[in-house]
Amino acid sequence: MSENEMTGNLFLFAGAKAADAKISETKQAEIRLVERICAGDIEAFDELYKTFAPLVHGILLAKLPREDVDDIAQEVFLSAYKNLHTLREKGAVGAWLVMIARNRAAEFYRSKKPTEELSENLQSKDNPQTEAEEILTAIRALPDAYKETLVLRLVEGMTGQEIAERTNLTPESVRVNLHRGMKLLRRKLGIEE
Amino acid sequence: MKEDYLWDKSGTDAEIEKMENTLAQFRYQETPAPVIIQEKVLTVEAKPKYRFFNFSHAFSFASCAAFVLILLGVWFYNADKILEIGNELAKEITPEVKINLPEKRDFIEPDREIKTSQPTERPAFTKAKFSSKKPISLKAKPFKQTRKKQAVKLTEEEQYAYDQLMLALSITSSKLNLVKEKVAFLESPNLSVKQESQ
């Protein structure tokens, strides 16, 4: 092993350590936040909402019609507030919210058959809204693991590391989901690599 | 590098950037957090369900039964001792009363005459006058003695027993008379006045 490779490995190791320290910090902050909410602090709940609203929005957007996403996101947070005392691992509040959002989306489809009205601008390919909807529809057609990660990355603008932190997934699995999902999306959209 | 941009937005990737810009319209727009209404929960104590078999009642019943059994056991075990103690107490409480009863033979009075009732003869019917024309036969019917009024012939032993019984009755009645007089004397108001004056 050359000196350059060894130096590179050392830097990588140092970077991983720093990332781990950052994760533990965010976990500690989440735990404190949850404890404050359990103690009846409404401001802490607002803070939690601001932190995790994009995550819940992204998860719901990957599954539900756009017009229902905001309402159901509010329901998810209300449900979370009522049942927060039942959360055992307080550092995994993000994953817990994702689970509630998934359950709510499933309930939505159980109670109501989804109907999509045809847009007036459906025919015009040049309209950016149509293109956006087309991409979103293609993402929604992907498997759950890929579509949720891709929406969080492409729509909500979160980095891979942020997605891993919020959803309690390992960075490796998020990376894999992103790349495989992107590959499938390109194929669906007919984009050549 | 393409991979870096997809992972941490480092570097450039025109295709992904374009997608991001296109999809940005669906991005989360900041909205206020849902309003939390703190609910006050009223707790109402539910009435306890009626149970045929109540453990507390059963336990109290069992404890009472055990207590009674223990008492009975102690009583039977120490019955002799308790009776002795009771007798001693009775002796201490009650004063000794000596009654000098005469011997059996002292009451016998051989010279005493005992009068027994003898059946008397019924007087003869007398003639009566009636206004009715019909003659009435006034022939007296022969007197029939009833079995009750027949003279009792006692044997010697019976006679002796009868005498003894009568003697006992007379003694008893005399004693009773004495007691009666004594009670009357004690209950008389003059005596109480005298006692007060003394």
pLDDT value of position A39: 87
User: What single-letter DSSP state applies at residue B149?
Assistant: T
CA distance B8 to B118: 151
Residues in chain B: 198
SS3 assignment, position A15: helix
Q: What is the pLDDT of residue A180?
A: 93
**HEC string for B46-61:** CCCCCCCCCHHHHHHH
Q: What is the ipTM of this complex?
A: 0.76
Q: Shortest CB distance from A154 goes to which of B19, B25, B28?
A: B19
Q: What is the DSSP string of A91-156?
A: GGHHHHHHHHHHHHHHHHHHHS----PPPGGGS-TT-HHHHHHHHHHHHHTS-HHHHHHHIIIIIS
Nearest residue on chain A to B32, judged by CA atoms?
A46
User: Tokens 């019924």 map to which residue?
Assistant: B122
Structural element, H or E, at residue B181 = helix B156-187
What tokens appear for B89 in the block? 């107490």
Q: Is the dihedral of CA A7, A9, A12, A13 positive or negative?
A: negative
User: How near does any CA of chain B get to the CA of A132, in Å?
Assistant: 5
Produce one character per residue of B15-39: b if its CB has 16 or more CB atoms within 10 Å, e if not.
ebeebbebbeebebeeeebbeeeee
Q: Under 8 Å CB-to-CB from B167, ≥6 apart: which residues?
A: B107, B108, B109
The answer to whether A123 and A102 are in contact (CB under 8 A) is no
8 Å CB contact between B13 and A48: no
Q: Are A145 and A177 in contact (CB under 8 A)?
A: yes
Rounded CA-CA distance A40/A158 in Å is 30
Encoded tokens for B96: 């000794």
Token readout for B98 is: 């000596």
Reading chain B (198 residues) residue by residue, the pLDDT tens digits are 455 788 888 888 888 999 999 998 999 988 888 887 766 556 666 666 666 667 788 888 999 999 999 999 888 888 878 788 888 888 877 766 666 655 555 555 555 555 555 555 655 555 555 555 555 555 666 655 555 556 677 888 889 999 999 999 999 999 999 999 988 888 876 665 555 555
3-state secondary structure (DSSP) of residue B64: helix
How many Å lie between the alpha carbon of A7 and the closest alpha carbon of chain B?
A: 21
Across the range A38-51, mean pLDDT stands at 89
How far is the C-alpha of A104 from the C-alpha of A59, rounded, in Å? 11
Cα of A111 to nearest chain B Cα, Å: 23
Quick: pLDDT tens for A127-183.
556 888 999 999 999 998 899 999 999 999 999 999 998 888 999 999 999 999 999
Of A63, A93, A68, A69, residue with least CA distance to A81: A93
pLDDT for A26 beyond 50: yes
B7 touches chain A (CB under 8 A): yes
- Calculate the average pLDDT of chain A: 83
Q: Which residues contact B163 (CB under 8 A, 6 or more apart)?
A: B112, B114
Residue keyed to tokens 């010279």: B111
Q: Which of A45, A46, A129 sits opposite B25 (nearest CB)?
A: A129
Q: Given CB atoms, is A132 within the 8 Å cutoff of chain B?
A: yes
B160 token code pair:
């002796």
- Of A6-10, A42-46, B101-105, B153-157, the range with the lowest mean pLDDT is A6-10
Give B 21-80 residues with CB within 8 A of chain A. Answer: 22-28, 30-31, 33-34, 36, 38
Sign of CA dihedral B19, B23, B25, B27: negative
Place of tokens 């989901």: A177
Residue B187 phi, psi (nearest 5): -85, -10
